[in-house]
Structure 1
Amino acid sequence: MDRPRVITHNSAAVDGRLELSPGTPIMFDERWPSSGQDGYADIMRRHRPRVLLEGSGSFVGAGQEPSPLPPADQPAGALLEDFVPDEIVARATKGWMTVPDSRGRVRWTYKEYPDEAWAGWHLLVLVAAGTPLDYLAYLRREGVPYLVVGEERVDLGGALAALRARFGVETVVATGGGRLGGALLRAGLVDEIEVEVLPMAVGGTTATALFTAPDLDRSARPAGLRLLGVEERPEGRVLLRYEVQR
Structure 2
Amino acid sequence: MSTRMNKTDRPFVVCHMLTSLDGKIDGEFFAAPETAPAQAEYGRLRGFYSCQATLYGTTTMQGSYSEGLAPAVLPPADGTVPRSDYVNADGLALGNFIVSMDPQGVLGWNSNIIEKKNRPKAHVIEALTEQVSSEYLSYLRQFGISYLFAGKDRLDCALLLQKLKKLFSIERLMIAGGGVANWSLLQDGLIDELSLVIAPVADGSTTAVSIFEKAGFLPPHGPVAFTLKEARPFEGNGLWLRYETAEP
- Checking the alignment, whether the CA contact within 8 Å between 2:115 and 2:121 is kept in structure 1 is no
| 2-structure distance, mates of 1:30, 1:116 | 18
Per the alignment, residue 15 of structure 2 pairs with 8
Q: What is the SS of the residue equivalent to 1:195? A: strand
Mapped to 1, the partners of 2:182 and 2:158 lie a distance apart of: 13
* 1:16 alignment partner, SS class: coil
Q: Aligned pair in 2 of structure 1 residues 213, 114: CA closer, same or farther (>3 Å)? A: closer
- In terms of mean alpha carbon deviation, does 106-115 or 142-151 score higher? 106-115
Give the percent of matched residue pairs that are identical in Structure 1 and Structure 2: 24
Separation in 1, partners of 2:160, 2:211: 22
Distance 1:143 1:114 in 2: 16
Change in CA separation of 1:118 and 1:20 when aligned onto 2, cut-off 3 Å: closer
Q: CA deviation at 1:197?
A: 1.0
Q: Report if the CA contact (8 A) 1:56-1:101 is conserved.
A: yes
In 1, the alpha carbon distance for the partners of 2:97 and 2:70 equals 23
- Alignment of 1:51 onto 2:53: yes
Partner of 2:88: 85
The two structures have a TM-score, normalised by structure 2, of: 0.81
CA contact (8 A) 1:4 1:171 kept: yes
Q: Is the 8 A contact 1:69 1:138 kept in 2?
A: no
Partner of 1:233: 234
CA shift in 2, pair 1:121/1:102, >3 Å = same
1:59 is paired with a residue whose SS is helix
Do the aligned residues in 1 keep the contact of 2:180 with 2:215 (CA within 8 Å)? no
Stretches of structure 1 lacking an aligned partner (at least 5 in a row):
none
CA deviation profile, 1:130-151 (whole Å, cap 9, x unmatched): 1233222211111111111111
The one-letter amino acid of 2:78's match is Q
- Once residues 204 and 82 of structure 2 are traced to their aligned partners in structure 1, the CA distance between those partners, rounded to angstroms, is 44
State the 1:205 CA deviation: 2.7
The root-mean-square deviation of aligned C-alpha atoms, in Å, is: 2.8
Is this contact kept in 2: 1:186–1:213, CA < 8 A?
no
Aligned to 1:17: 24
User: Which amino acid is the alignment partner of residue 108 of structure 1?
Assistant: W
Secondary structure, aligned partner of 1:60: helix
How many angstroms apart in 1 are the aligned matches of 2:138 and 2:107? 13
CA apart distance, 1:108 = 2.4
Shift of 1:211: 0.9
Q: Which residue of 2 aligns with 1:173?
A: 174
Matches within 5 A, 1:88-127: 88-90=91-93, 92-93=94-95, 95-114=96-115, 117-127=118-128
Q: Which amino acid aligns with 1:56?
A: T
Contact 1:113-1:122 within 8 A present in 2 as well = yes
CA distance in 2, matches of 1:195, 1:167: 27
Indicate how the Cα distance of structure 1 residues 41 and 137 shifts in structure 2: closer, same or farther if over 3 A, else same. farther
Q: Give the corresponding residue for 1:42.
A: 45
Instruction: Check 1:226–1:114 CA distance in 2 against 1; reply closer, same or farther (3 A cut).
Output: closer
Q: Distance in 2 between matches of 1:230 and 1:243?
A: 12
User: C-alpha offsets along residues 190-211 of structure 1, whole Å, 9 cap, x if unaligned?
Assistant: 1111111112212233321111
Residue 180 of structure 2 contacts residue 212 of structure 2 at CA under 8 Å; is this kept in 1?
Answer: yes
SS of the residue corresponding to residue 165 of structure 1 reads helix
Call closer, same or farther: CA 1:142–1:30 in 2, change over 3 Å: farther
8 A Cα contact 1:79 1:137, kept in partner: no
The 1:186–1:96 alpha-carbon spacing in structure 2 relative to 1, beyond 3 Å, is same
